[in-house]
Chain A
Amino acid sequence: MGKTLAEKVWDSHVVRKGEVVGAEAQPDMLYIDLHLIHEVTSPQAFEGLRLAGRRLRRPDLTIATEDHNTPTLDIDKPIADPTSRKQIETLRANCREFGVRLHSLGDAEQGIVHVVGPQLGLTQPGLTVVCGDSHTSTHGAFGALAMGIGTSEVEHVMATQTLSLRPFKTMAITVEGTLKPGVTAKDIILAVIAKIGTGGGQGYVLEYRGSAIRALSMEARMTICNMSIEAGARAGMVAPDETTFAYLKGRPHAPEGADWDAAVENWRGLVTDDDAVFDAEVYLDADDLEPFVTWGTNPGQGVSLSQAVPSPADFADENDRAACERALEYMALEAGTPMKEIRVDTVFLGSCTNSRIEDLRIAADIIRGRAKDPAIRMMVVPGSARVRLEAEAEGLDRVFKDFGAEWRFAGCSMCLGMNPDQLAPGERCASTSNRNFEGRQGKGGRTHLVSPVVAAATAVRGTLSSPSDLDPVPPSGSGMGAPGAFATTPSATPAA
């Protein structure tokens, strides 16, 4: 019987097969090719090494960046919050002591760990990648087996470059067809999560397949794999193909010359065999998909943008009904309210889900020549310093600033509000991030997860919207008219 992609990567990394004791196999010892580190989940692991007198086995397979705590304003000044500053300083001291490469605030390669790895070309097909962060699943877009781990496991990888893991089950998520304009990878993954639930992927590695997935760019595939964890899965993967190879070619850490040829030959084998069997299969039709948004307080509580807020009575399961009731109360929403009538205060474009250059381009294309709803605060936080530079070279920063959005420095920012970028109690946000948990973006804050397309349209109209809800862009007259001219005019109200 053939193997799935996940099984191939797994099998090629087994250092030691777990013995079968009684009815159950012990975990396999897996080799880890790339260990990504950031300031929040590493200090206790470094301390553990130090206390045990252990070395970090492979600094050359380890890289660190500062992202969760870092401010997105005034990055040339000392970090104001003393506990954040201390955590960052601790990472710097630890990386110096253990010889780990670190990209600090101000460095062109600093940024969200899951943006930095791929952009440097370190994330490659067939690797095992881990990080003390659940969204490590992002790197699976390259056909890597990439998992989030806890701090004890971070320490374990530091000391041994291995992890003891029990094999996962495999689930195929097949998405066939063609996405309509304005429908994105984010909508695919939100629809998948709504379909299988936040626990549906538990114990599985997901493999995204089908024509709609093949048609996606690498960055879009990263968006999908990123949120595998929101479906409860440990990892998500896409088989590498020409899109993958083209993305990697020429990146700083991509193989070169004969190594490139050997690598590509190896990577071409990283596909699920025709006769391989998945433990579970899920189908989704891309043709039918619409922009998807969440109404509740877990990522499975989502609907199409054209639908309404559900009622607790819509749920058969008692736990789901109670969860709906609680979510509506927290979100201050009435059942039956059309999603498009929900007015938001803030739009956040950023996070490891949607902060790459394509995300910024998509949003900029929608707002260019349009006026922001004056009541909306919009924050744009590029995923890395490199993305920010790239956007500025294309003039995207001007588009955002002329629109009235805040153009910030790179980091996790308002996705989890560990830095000063937080929602106030009761503040409602359309966010391109990945979690709408209670208080996630700031205590009492209310989050609707959306795509960059919906985020941009919402910033124009003030309520959750897609570009099809917007008036056409006003003609630019001489063609030289500053886009800023529109920023001061009130936004068009939707036709009554």
Chain B
Amino acid sequence: MEKITTHTGIGVPLRQSNVDTDQIIPAVYLKRITRTGFEDALFAAWRKDENFILNREPYTRGSVLVAGPDFGTGSSREHAVWALKDFGFRAVLSSRFADIFRGNSGKQGLVAAQVAQDDIELIWKVLENEPGATVTVDLQARTAVCGPVSAPFQIDDYTRWRLLEGLDDIGLTLRHEPDITAFEATRPGFRPTTLPVRT
């Protein structure tokens, strides 16, 4: 995974709460077996409307999404994160993220920055008054800066560290493989196994 310390890009104000992952990427696009190439699928239903924000300049080049509360609810599909990244997004700001979406973002190098709703409102105003204004997401300082607004954001220490260092999760875990093997030796014998097949 690429290291991320700070990112500056065009902010996209999405004034909507409960943006679920079915909206971010409809199920019909989940049939692909690749991890990339989902840019066309991002918000596919909403993008049918030519006035939808991502169809308008300069937002087609947006890279910081500023959304309402409860972003990424619903299905666990990591495709939602892949689609946001493939479109060009590097960070999403919201006052509340669904747990699974937040986890998926951390694995894929998309910064899910939790910003107070009052600050989200201020950033929305700046972005709406000055379309094309940029947002700087500073992972080191945990701040999102947009015009005169400087908003602190929350992201857990572990995810932040992994993003800053660009570390691969599986590799980190496998450093402790002896611990896993030791744990396996202590598992109770009555725990089920899927093999051999019993009918």
Contacts and interface: CB of A to CB of B under 8 A. Distances in A.
B28 to A, nearest CB: 7
A99 to B, nearest CB: 8
A136 to B, nearest CB: 8
A434 to B, nearest CB: 9
A198 B70 contact: yes
* Most chain A CB inside 10 Å of its own CB: which residue of B33, B69, B188: B33
B78 A15 contact: no
A38 to B, nearest CB: 11
Nearest to B99: A234
Contacts of B184: 31, 161
Nearest to A440: B22
Contacts of B174: 159-160
Interface of B: 15-18, 20, 22-23, 26-28, 30-35, 45, 68-70, 73-79, 81, 96-100, 103-104, 107-108, 156-158, 169-170, 172-174, 176-177, 179-180, 183-184, 187-195, 197-199
Closest A-B pairs by Cβ, 4 of them? A152-B107, A150-B104, A150-B78, A43-B33
A439 B98 contact: no
Contacts of B195: 59-60, 101
A400 to B, nearest CB: 26
B33 A232 contact: no
Contact of A322 (B15, B34, B96, B157): B15
A124 B28 CA distance: 33
B135 to A, nearest CB: 20
A156 interface: yes
A153 B180 contact: no
Contacts of A259: 189-190
Interface of A: 15-16, 18, 21-22, 24, 26-27, 29, 31, 33-34, 40-41, 43-44, 47, 52, 54, 57, 59-63, 68-69, 81, 83-84, 86-87, 90, 101, 121-122, 124, 127, 132-134, 148-153, 155-156, 159-162, 164, 166, 198-199, 202-203, 229-230, 232, 234, 252-255, 259-260, 262-263, 266, 298, 319-320, 322-323, 326, 416-418, 435, 437-440, 443
A177 B70 CA distance: 32
Nearest to B174: A160
Given A83-B31, A122-B192, A319 B169 contact: no
B196 to A, nearest CB: 9
B42 to A, nearest CB: 14
Contacts of A298: 18, 20, 73
Given A164-B169, A202-B98, A69 B76 contact: no
